[in-house]
Structure 1
Amino acid sequence: MSQTPWLLILALGILLPSVFLFLAKALQTAGILKTEIAQRLSVVLSLAAAYFIFQEQFNQLKILGIALGIGAVLCILFSHRQSTGQGSQGMLYLGLVWVGYALIDVLLKYTTSLGLQFAVALNLMFVCALIISMGYLLIKYKSLGSMQNIGAGLLLGFLNFANIAFYVKAHMLLKDSPAIVFAGMNILVVVFGVIAGLVFFKERLKPASTLGLLLGLTSVICLAYAMSA
């Protein structure tokens, strides 16, 4: 336990629940569209970190795939435009979401250098996040909520844990290509979100969404080829 990265665990334990709170506040003050854009375009900061911090080399195919992916995300998001009021408070929470998600990406990438300590760190950061979240609820609301809320929270927590575990595993398998993991995750989340809307919720595919879907698929193909280049 002497080599356990406590500072990293504490940082992620604080960041994970904090960013969810910022996300909720951004949704309330700026609307879903701008919040989605801030969340997904945090990949720009993650990609900058891949280049400047993790010293990843970008070939033309990788740059093309990333550019197409960002274009796909913007097309899909702007196809669901809605008018919302947005003041300085909304801008503040959007900025916190943008920076917060990128910082989590970078710190999770760093956990891949821990080797066998990765599993220990992942479990401890979620325990830390749980303790901080419970403390926040008890201080602000004097209660942990109803059993229904607790059950829903546990389900979402389990899914989030699995998501982060697979995400970090992807970074471990592609340790020299963090940009592909950063971009691939954000692009595929949006693309699969559109597909889920079509299949399960019978949404109509708008022209901008169609273009975004095509750009997203092309982007994934480019990034896949970039991995083997």
Structure 2
Amino acid sequence: MFSDADAAALYDVLNPWDPERWPGDRFYDGLVAGAHSVLDAGCGTGSMLRRAREGGHAGRLTGIEPNRAALARARRRADIEWVEGTAADAGWKSEFDLVTMVSHAFQCLVTDAELRRSLAAIHAALRDGGRFAFETRHPQARAWEEWRPANATDVTDASGRTLRVWHETESVAGDVVTFSETIAEPDGTVLRVDRTRLRFLGAAALDAFLAEAGFAVEARYGDWERGPVTRTSREIVTLARRA
């Protein structure tokens, strides 16, 4: 009743890339603008890279994404290189100045093995001195406690259809949270349910994985205005350099 293509289109409605409105988007736009060659790992529908090209970025822009429906939307722009796959699948060698994982995509790397393979591939894809930029939700903020049907969002999709979307935490096992996203009619008739697992790592654990992969942490922020990580931070924003 609600296809993968419908879900990908709805994602863009719910999560428009807008650096004027969202400081996180502005943060990444600045990094991308300053890099000649950029790989966005887990690029989704490609909004960040499409925005960069529209803004005049003349260098190499590449996105890699495993979700075919999302990638099909990204491929509407043909002057960017789009690749189907995951960060761990990447076979590039010393080709990029910057690799990004935006919109908390890093948290989809749930197991230690997934993390290690992905970080190794990202490290290999970067030139000497290249940077890897990503963010994760700080576990201390316990964002998953806000994922409940009472916080549903009503939205009008691109076709003019009104929908209701909510998230619901199903389980918390150590640092891994399983939750569902439900898309429904306004009367509650369910059209689609997707389940996702995310890993919530603290800064020390992140740094251990990065160091093992050959990265040095260049900067660490607790918000999108480049403030320090504090006891109330909701984000862990990391800039790591290929050592």
Shorter chain as normaliser: what TM range? under 0.3
TM-score for the superposition, normalised by structure 1: 0.25
Structure with the largest fraction of helix: 1
